[in-house]
């Protein structure tokens, strides 16, 4: 069993004596570093330069949050300049697992300097572009802007994969070429598509205003997301992640299938401070996956449980990943409103996952770990209670104080944790005979490591949000969203007309209601499929940005929602957000599954497939939120209009539906279900998608109870297993 106090490092020379990282853990860590923080292992002055730039980025972002009056485009351009410089230094173009590069080649120095230079050029030249030139670009501006677009796509290729550059390039090609002409359909109106833009027009849209690369997405990254990522890096460096793991192991490790339940709880706790599924898999999985295998889970199931629980960490308030902050900007709501709305679905999601791993343990006949091997909960809580101080301040202030902005709260929490880091190092250093000066020096080293880790984790987010701005800018300049909405409208109208005809033949059925529900359902299913496909190659943040720009307005149009009303639009945004998160565990890409398989020694594709099965309950929950917005505390046509106490029955019915759905998809409740029992559970779960019709809800509960007692009766009728004769 791995020691939870051991720092994770892929460099053996950095590990303390007496500890040895397993080969699986090392491969998983290299995978995380290559995908999220850069795969190069630099030494000497190059490593020092990366550290200096990373720390400078952190200091600048904290300064910007402190003063609060830096020009919008300047803030975003400097943010991208830092990301450019680090991206080309630490992310190699060609990744060679097991043999990391140890220096920056001259070509990357050139590309990095050019990319950083384009951002600096815009900072210097933008006042002239906006005032003297009246927004019209000169030839030099077009050349520099073109270079930025190309270098941004190359940086995105390195940091987040090839999918985003391909999608962005296709969108730009569409903007340049049209297509021209008309598309006619027998089921709907005539559709007019745009006639094409010139390259200078495209560059002007993407480069020199706040509707393209420097749009809302990178603005949120620069203003808010960076501070929360830095908060998570410092909090983890304090030792909070290990403490969460020990608390979870001590609380749940002794129950049936206990290590899996501890994995779920620790991932939920880590999700409070980190929105990264892959890093959560590695930091928690290096302990939980081994213990799950020890009690009887297969390598694939152990890895899949860790993937499912880590992916769902992005649903946990208050951090929820970068996409959540962008969502608040899209909806024009306070962040505290969003985290309150997201609380009930997040707890339902993790509660249902606990049921899933419990059913899996029953199915496999597993036990828990001996209590003698588990941390004692009381002692563990007493040792790390002070970790709750900054976390309590962050959550409490965000949810209670309506005047507190997320960036100010995050900044104050960072200052609090910096002080805690030095106090902790001095206190424990004195207990081990070290001087105060040595304790302060150790605290400074830890802080620099945290700053560098936070900045390196932000590279991919900053580049992804900037690249997503290309797509959003093209959608704006071409009106592509309206054309797609018209095409989907044709499909929806066809389904509506078909259902009207079929339902009209059934006496006593409201054909209009059935047709309307079916039309919306088919659009949601199309959106679900698009989100999952895009998520195979895009990180959650980029996936959400693209879906919110293209698909959310279409759903709103088909459902007859007011696109400017956050009360009506929040369920739609949460719907696509949930499916974007599911994509993290969707094969064949599923980087989180590959990281888990590297630790478990299992097949990565099989691990991803199993994780996707565990994640199916998240899909049902997304539909529940859409059709029953009260789960998001929406009532009386306002956000946060429903008290938690009033939501208790809906929570119970929704949870019951998730349990039934999980049992149906896993083919196990009290015992293995036959096809009819699985169908009954599936029908019951669908009946509970809208937990507001009490008779339907009670009927669904009765159906579940019928299956349960049917299985219990069958168990009692079975003869006892034969006892083999002794040899």
pLDDT in tens, 629-657: 889 988 887 887 776 677 788 888 999 99
Q: Once rounded to an integer, what is the mean pLDDT over residues 388-405?
A: 88
Q: What is the pLDDT of residue 213?
A: 94
Q: What is the pLDDT of residue 174?
A: 87
Cα distances (angstroms) measured from residue 555 to each of 24, 188, 568, 637: 43, 17, 11, 19
pLDDT in tens, 270-286: 877 766 677 778 777 77
Distance of alpha carbon 246 from alpha carbon 240, whole angstroms = 10
User: Own/partner pairs for 126-134, CB < 8 Å, 24+ apart?
Assistant: 126/73, 126/74, 126/77, 126/208, 129/208
Distance of alpha carbon 50 from alpha carbon 103, whole angstroms = 11
Query: 301 vs 431, which has greater pLDDT?
Result: 301
Structure confidence at residue 26 as a pLDDT band (50, 70, 90): low
Using the predicted structure, report yes or no on whether residue 98 has a pLDDT greater than 80: no
Structure confidence at residue 542 as a pLDDT band (50, 70, 90): confident
Q: What is the pLDDT of residue 46?
A: 94
Distance of alpha carbon 527 from alpha carbon 554, whole angstroms = 9
Q: What is the pLDDT of residue 315?
A: 84
Per the DSSP assignment, residues forming a β-bridge with 183 are 191
Q: Once rounded to an integer, what is the mean pLDDT over residues 469-487?
A: 80
Q: Write b or e for each residue in 118-147: b if 16 or more Cβ atoms lie within 10 A of its Cβ, otherwise e.
A: bbebbbebbeebeeeeeeebeeebbebbbb
Structure confidence at residue 95 as a pLDDT band (50, 70, 90): low
Contact 393, 413 (CB under 8 A): yes
- Alpha helix ranges (H) inside 479-506: 480-503
Using the predicted structure, report yes or no on whether residue 586 has a pLDDT greater than 60: yes
Task: For residue 473, give the nearest of 163, 170, 215 by alpha carbon.
Answer: 215
Q: What is the pLDDT of residue 589?
A: 63
pLDDT in tens, 543-575: 888 888 888 988 888 888 888 899 999 999 999
Q: How many CA atoms lie within 13 A of 520 on its CB side?
A: 15
Q: Once rounded to an integer, what is the mean pLDDT over residues 108-131?
A: 93
Structure confidence at residue 588 as a pLDDT band (50, 70, 90): low
Distance of alpha carbon 475 from alpha carbon 174, whole angstroms = 10
User: Own/partner pairs for 415-422, CB < 8 Å, 24+ apart?
Assistant: 416/389, 416/390, 417/231, 417/234, 417/235, 417/238, 417/390, 418/234, 418/447, 420/238, 420/386, 420/389, 420/390, 421/234, 421/237, 421/238, 421/446, 421/447, 421/450, 422/447
Q: What is the pLDDT of residue 647?
A: 77
Using the predicted structure, report yes or no on whether residue 1 has a pLDDT greater than 50: no
DSSP state of 435: -
Neighbour tally for 349: CB within 10 Å: 24
% of the chain surpassing 70 pLDDT = 86
Q: What is the pLDDT of residue 506?
A: 76
Using the predicted structure, report yes or no on whether residue 23 has a pLDDT greater than 80: no
Structure confidence at residue 402 as a pLDDT band (50, 70, 90): confident
Distance of alpha carbon 271 from alpha carbon 235, whole angstroms = 12
Using the predicted structure, report yes or no on whether residue 690 has a pLDDT greater than 80: no
Structure confidence at residue 96 as a pLDDT band (50, 70, 90): low
Query: 45 vs 593, which has greater pLDDT?
Result: 45
And the tokens for 678?
Answer: 């699985």
Strands (E), 546-612: none
Structure confidence at residue 322 as a pLDDT band (50, 70, 90): confident
And the tokens for 151?
Answer: 């270098």
Q: What is the pLDDT of residue 186?
A: 38
Which of these ranges, 38-52, 449-463, 485-499, 613-627, has the smallest mean pLDDT? 485-499
Using the predicted structure, report yes or no on whether residue 179 has a pLDDT greater than 60: no
Q: What is the pLDDT of residue 29?
A: 59
Using the predicted structure, report yes or no on whether residue 4 has a pLDDT greater than 80: no
Which of these ranges, 133-147, 386-400, 475-489, has the smallest mean pLDDT? 475-489
- Alpha helix ranges (H) inside 256-318: 258-271, 277-295, 299-311
Cα distances (angstroms) measured from residue 565 to each of 330, 414, 562, 569: 11, 34, 5, 6
Using the predicted structure, report yes or no on whether residue 530 has a pLDDT greater than 50: yes
Q: What is the pLDDT of residue 564?
A: 87
- Alpha helix ranges (H) inside 667-693: 675-687
pTM greater than 0.95 (yes/no): no
Distance of alpha carbon 330 from alpha carbon 233, whole angstroms = 27
Q: Write b or e for each residue in 64-78: b if 16 or more Cβ atoms lie within 10 A of its Cβ, otherwise e.
A: bbeeeebeebbbbbb
Structure confidence at residue 714 as a pLDDT band (50, 70, 90): confident
Structure confidence at residue 33 as a pLDDT band (50, 70, 90): low
Distance of alpha carbon 49 from alpha carbon 720, whole angstroms = 71
Q: What is the mean pLDDT of the chain?
A: 83
Structure confidence at residue 722 as a pLDDT band (50, 70, 90): very low
Contact 28, 279 (CB under 8 A): no
Contact 339, 318 (CB under 8 A): yes
Structure confidence at residue 181 as a pLDDT band (50, 70, 90): very low
Q: What is the pLDDT of residue 182?
A: 37
């Amino acid at each position: 069993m791995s020691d939870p106090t051991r720092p994770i490092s892929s460099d053996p020379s950095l590990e303390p004596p007496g500890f040895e990282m397993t080969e699986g853990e090392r491969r998983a860590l290299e995978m995380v570093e290559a995908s999220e923080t850069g795969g190069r292992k630099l030494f000497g002055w190059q490593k020092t330069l990366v550290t200096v730039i990373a720390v400078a980025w952190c200091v600048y972002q904290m300064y910007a949050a402190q003063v609060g009056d830096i020009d919008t485009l300047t803030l975003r351009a400097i943010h991208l300049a830092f990301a450019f410089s680090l991206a080309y230094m630490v992310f190699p173009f060609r990744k060679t697992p097991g043999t990391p590069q140890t220096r920056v080649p001259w070509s990357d120095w050139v590309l990095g300097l050019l990319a950083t230079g384009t951002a600096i050029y815009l900072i210097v030249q933008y006042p002239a572009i906006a005032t003297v030139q009246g927004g019209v670009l000169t030839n030099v501006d077009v050349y520099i802007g073109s270079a930025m677009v190309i270098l941004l796509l190359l940086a995105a290729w390195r940091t987040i994969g090839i999918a985003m550059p391909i999608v962005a390039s296709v969108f730009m090609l569409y903007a340049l070429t049209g297509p021209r002409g008309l598309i006619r359909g027998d089921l709907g109106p005539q559709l007019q598509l745009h006639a094409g833009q010139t390259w200078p027009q495209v560059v002007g849209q993407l480069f020199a205003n706040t509707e393209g690369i420097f749009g809302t997405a990178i603005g949120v990254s620069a203003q808010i997301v960076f501070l929360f990522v830095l908060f998570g890096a410092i909090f983890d460096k304090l030792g909070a992640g290990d403490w969460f793991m020990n608390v979870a192991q001590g609380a749940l490790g002794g129950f049936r299938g206990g290590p899996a339940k501890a994995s779920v709880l620790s991932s939920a706790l880590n999700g409070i401070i980190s929105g990264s599924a892959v890093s959560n898999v590695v930091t928690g999985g290096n302990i939980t996956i081994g213990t799950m295998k020890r009690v009887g889970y297969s390598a694939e199931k152990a890895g899949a449980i860790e993937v499912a629980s880590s992916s769902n960490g992005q649903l946990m308030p208050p951090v929820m990943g970068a996409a959540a902050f962008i969502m608040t900007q899209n909806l024009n709501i306070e962040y505290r409103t969003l985290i309150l709305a997201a609380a009930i679905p997040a707890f339902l999601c993790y509660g249902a996952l606990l049921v899933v791993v419990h059913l899996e343990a029953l199915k496999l006949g597993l036990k828990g770990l001996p209590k003698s091997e588990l941390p004692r909960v009381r002692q563990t809580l007493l040792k790390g209670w002070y970790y709750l101080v900054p976390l309590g301040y962050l959550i409490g202030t965000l949810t209670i104080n309506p005047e507190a902005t997320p960036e100010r709260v995050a900044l104050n929490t960072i200052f609090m944790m910096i002080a805690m880091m030095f106090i902790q190092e001095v206190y424990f250093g004195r207990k081990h005979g070290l001087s105060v000066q040595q304790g302060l020096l150790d605290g400074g080293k830890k802080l620099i490591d945290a700053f560098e880790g936070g900045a390196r984790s932000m590279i991919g987010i900053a580049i992804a949000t900037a690249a997503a701005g290309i797509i959003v800018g093209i959608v704006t300049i071409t009106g592509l969203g309206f054309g797609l909405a018209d095409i989907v409208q044709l499909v929806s109208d066809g389904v509506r007309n078909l259902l009207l005809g079929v339902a009209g033949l059934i006496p006593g059925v409201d054909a209009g209601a059935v047709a309307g529900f079916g039309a919306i359902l088919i659009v949601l299913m199309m959106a679900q499929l698009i989100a999952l496909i895009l998520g195979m190659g895009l990180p959650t943040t980029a996936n959400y940005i693209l879906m919110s720009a293209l698909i959310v307005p279409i759903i709103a149009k088909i459902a007859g929602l007011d696109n400017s009303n956050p009360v009506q639009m929040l369920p739609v945004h949460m719907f696509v957000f949930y499916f974007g998160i599911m994509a993290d565990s969707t094969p064949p890409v599923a980087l989180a599954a590959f990281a888990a398989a590297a630790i478990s020694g299992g097949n990565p594709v099989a691990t991803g497939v199993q994780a996707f099965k565990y994640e199916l309950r998240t899909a049902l929950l997304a539909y529940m939120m859409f059709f029953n917005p009260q789960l998001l505390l929406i009532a009386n046509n306002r956000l946060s209009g429903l008290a938690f106490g009033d939501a208790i029955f809906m929570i119970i019915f929704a949870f019951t539906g998730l349990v039934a759905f999980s049992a149906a998809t896993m083919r196990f409740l009290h015992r293995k279900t036959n096809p009819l029992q699985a169908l009954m559970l599936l029908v019951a779960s669908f009946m509970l998608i809208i937990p507001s019709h009490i008779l339907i809800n009670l009927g669904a509960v009765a159906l579940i109870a019928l299956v349960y007692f049917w299985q219990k009766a069958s168990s009692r009728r079975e003869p006892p297993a034969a006892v083999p004769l002794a040899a």
